[in-house]
Structure 1
Amino acid sequence: MTDTAETKEYILEKDCELRFEIESKTQIIVELKSGFAELYGTELVKAKKYTFLQGAKVAVFSYQGCVILLTGEPDVCYIARETPMIQYLNTHSAIEQMRAKAEERESQGPIVMIVGPTDVGKSTVCRILLNYAVRLGHRPIFTDLDVGQGNLCVPGSISSLLIERPASIEEGFAQIAPLVVHYGHKSPDANNEFYKSCISTLADITIERLKEDKRTMASGIIINTCGWIKGQGYQNIKDAANAFQVGIIIVLDQERLYNELLRDIDSSCKVVFLPKSGGVVERSQQIRAESRDLRIREYFYGSRSPLYPHSIDIKWSDMKLYKIGAPALPDSCMPLGMKATDNMTKLWPIQTGPSLVHHLLALSFAETAEQDVLKKNILGYVCVTNVDVDRQTITVLSPQPRPLPNVVMLLSELQFIDSH
């Protein structure tokens, strides 16, 4: 940001939203001059400057009216008077009543799942509902089933995180000790049988975590899903609703999906339709790929607060590397009594070699392959930066120093080229 960057003043009336996007390599500084405003449920502090970088799509909302100072030149910037925020607030109020009843009865609170096609703002609605809950003293769990983008860990995984404080305006939720299940692909249809198994595993450990604390149990779970809503993707939504014992399904911007769920979901689960925000922007395949690379980079190097990963050499003999799922074969080629889908959730040993370079590896909590690796969450990820065939070692980028906490590793198809 140069010293000559222009500062503009925007006056927001009651229930209005200032929306802007940054596509170029610039940065925008936002400051609340007067009044009250929030970003996706997190309140802005008056006179504090917030910096947004390339790729940011921001919507600052005010229930009472405010004055916003914006320094820099965003690619798109306007004030929206038509916004679904009041409907999102009403949805939060209904969920809050369910939490109050759960606290009185010391029972399980509401489990809410957000569904809809890609690029309708599912992650944003999750963030709004979670922030509103935390601001009232609750401790909900956020579960992310979107393997393509990875809100809580690297893409290619699904995860749950206990939310104890509102998301940072610039960096989002503090991602401390999430429960992560390794999947290893960027879309569910790459191995849908295994994806369903991952959902079941994450549901089991998340509900177990939910019951450890009375306040968390009454606070419930907010679940984000991927945008695959047709065919097997629709079946995955129903399977996830059953696995997590979902009580409310919020459908964003897809009346057909809303009516299909009304027809197919048990009447004990409420299905609610909400509009998407007018500020939601459709992302191209290239932008989504760049976003995945950025999430992996942030995992190892941090975003605003820098992290310093370690480079570690591991002997081939000291590691046990597997992949989950084999190439699909027709049923006619399978042994008697087996189906082709049976191979999609099996553990297969991997030969270490140069082809591993740039691939992510997940470190399993299982100490041996016999401990049912598929049913355990993982410790974290490392990235292979070099394979030395002569010395029979691999070099990995690791968030923590040597020694690695486990030697059972699972191969991910996602890659990261370390340019540091």
Structure 2
Amino acid sequence: MSERDYTLEPDSELRFEVEGKKEVVVLNLLKGKAEIFGTEITPEKPYSFHSGAKVAVFTWHGCSIKLKGNTEGTYIAKETPMVMYLNTHACLERLRKQADEGLAKGEEARGPVTMIVGPTDVGKSTLCRILLNYAVRMQRRPLFVDLDIGQGAIAIPGSIGAVLVERAASIDEGFSQEAPLVYNFGHIAPNSNMTLYNILVSRMAQTVQEKIVSNRKVAASGVVINTCGWVKDDGYRSLTHVAQSFEVDIIIVLDQERLYNELVQDIPFIKVVFLPKSGGVVERTRAMRISARDDRIRDYFYGIKTKYHPHSFDVRLNSVQIYKIGAPALPDSCMPADMKMDDHMTKLVKIDPSGKLQHHMLAVTLTTDPEDLLATNVAGFICVVDVDEEAGTMKVLSPQPKPLPDTILILTEVQYMDSN
């Protein structure tokens, strides 16, 4: 195993990637202070990074670091946008202080609702993490809302979620996933069902607003919203819908001046800020995206550093209710006179369990009434590992032991093959 020491000057960043299926790289901070995406590194504590990890160690004052293991693309960058990101945090913190003062006087006030937008692979998730970590380090309790269904940072791909951030993200595992609010979308691209996506965004915004009203600490801390990388046509209209639904105060545009200018022109009543992306951001191929989605689902069941032990058990096909949201579109000539074109996108279709369910993720809802499926959040997800139609059973992988709750399951288009 190779070992190398690196000395970083103030305001510089060590960037590296971990390649190879079973490769592990261990990082130690020998002296000085440093952080990874806003989380402070503890000196002399080993941090392990596994295959696929892309890491940037930044220092404000200079430091020395030891790396053990084989890394790819390792270099020290002396030009980073971190000062601009810190200035952005300082502006948000000033707004939080103003909200605090207003709330103390009994006024209606709230901290900044900030939305990060930009095309794919510009570092939106990373900037969210940095801003949230800096907020927590100031004793704030912001809400993190993830609307990027392609990666599903809070639950799994194909879902949107929100979580209260009470402590800085773990360097190994990210933010704590305790008590997240999750809505199932069931696809990995918003344009698969824009009507449903916008309904879920509106529902999430309503729930977040209720949380802000009920908790003064959260109200003053504000919200950070991560969005999808689809920024043209319907994707752009979706971003404006998000901004209106959450009553966004600030939109941060990463790396695309055209998108910045369009938003400045179309939403003049919202503050729009342009920031450059980090030079360490790596563009991902389609294969890398698929692999990352599989890894995210595997982590959901098996954990990252803290190893989970999921449960596998048989479920009788005749004991479950399974629905799918959205039906094939009908030609205009075949539609009833009072039916709108979009209605088929939210139509509930009952599914007869069969072998076609194999490898599909199913959302476990909190309701037994099909009419509530569009508005209810979900308890979690299970994966159909195998279906035995002759025996009338399906084998599922579940984070919880049997039996399944006696509620409706929603079929998703997200698939996962369990190889553990």
What TM-score does the superposition give when structure 1 sets the normalisation length? 0.96
1:12 is the counterpart of 2:13: no
> Aligned ranges for residues 276-291 of structure 1 at < 5 Å?
276-291=277-292
In the other structure, the counterpart of 1:189 is 191
Could you tell which deviates more after superposition, 344-353 or 397-406? 397-406
In the other structure, the counterpart of 2:171 is 169
| SS state at 2:15 partner | strand
Would you say the 8 A contact 1:359–1:384 is kept in 2? yes
Using the TM superposition, give the Cα deviation of residue 313 of structure 1 relative to its aligned residue in structure 2, in angstroms: 2.3
CA deviation string 1:346-389 (max 9, x = no partner): 2111111010011111011122113x210111010011112222
Q: Which amino acid aligns with 2:80?
A: T
> Aligned ranges for residues 9-408 of structure 1 at < 5 Å?
9-25=5-21, 26-106=23-103, 107-267=109-269, 269-370=270-371, 372-408=372-408
In the other structure, the counterpart of 2:106 is none
Using the TM superposition, give the Cα deviation of residue 301 of structure 1 relative to its aligned residue in structure 2, in angstroms: 1.0
Name the % identity.
Answer: 53
Would you say the 8 A contact 1:32–1:47 is kept in 2? yes
Q: Which amino acid aligns with 2:254?
A: L
Structure 1 Cα separation of the partners of residues 42 and 298 of structure 2: 29
Structure 1 Cα separation of the partners of residues 330 and 341 of structure 2: 6
Q: Which amino acid aligns with 2:27?
A: V
Runs of 4+ with >6 A deviation: none
| SS state at 1:143 partner | strand
Would you say the 8 A contact 1:203–1:244 is kept in 2? yes
Using the TM superposition, give the Cα deviation of residue 401 of structure 1 relative to its aligned residue in structure 2, in angstroms: 1.1
| SS state at 1:375 partner | coil
Q: Which amino acid aligns with 1:15?
A: D
Equivalences, count: 414
Using the TM superposition, give the Cα deviation of residue 416 of structure 1 relative to its aligned residue in structure 2, in angstroms: 1.1
Q: Which amino acid aligns with 2:364?
A: L
Structure 2 Cα separation of the partners of residues 359 and 166 of structure 1: 33
Structure 2 Cα separation of the partners of residues 198 and 387 of structure 1: 30
Using the TM superposition, give the Cα deviation of residue 128 of structure 1 relative to its aligned residue in structure 2, in angstroms: 0.1
Q: Which amino acid aligns with 2:54?
A: K
Would you say the 8 A contact 1:154–1:295 is kept in 2? yes
Q: Which amino acid aligns with 2:226?
A: N
Structure 2 Cα separation of the partners of residues 201 and 249 of structure 1: 20
Structure 2 Cα separation of the partners of residues 407 and 216 of structure 1: 32
**Tell me, which stretches of 5 or more residues in structure 2 are unaligned?**
104-108
What TM-score does the superposition give when structure 2 sets the normalisation length? 0.96
Q: Which amino acid aligns with 2:86?
A: L
Using the TM superposition, give the Cα deviation of residue 201 of structure 1 relative to its aligned residue in structure 2, in angstroms: 1.4
CA deviation string 1:299-344 (max 9, x = no partner): 1111111111112322233211100001223323211132332100
Using the TM superposition, give the Cα deviation of residue 72 of structure 1 relative to its aligned residue in structure 2, in angstroms: 1.9
Q: CA RMSD in A?
A: 1.1
| SS state at 2:120 partner | coil
Would you say the 8 A contact 2:366–2:407 is kept in 1? no
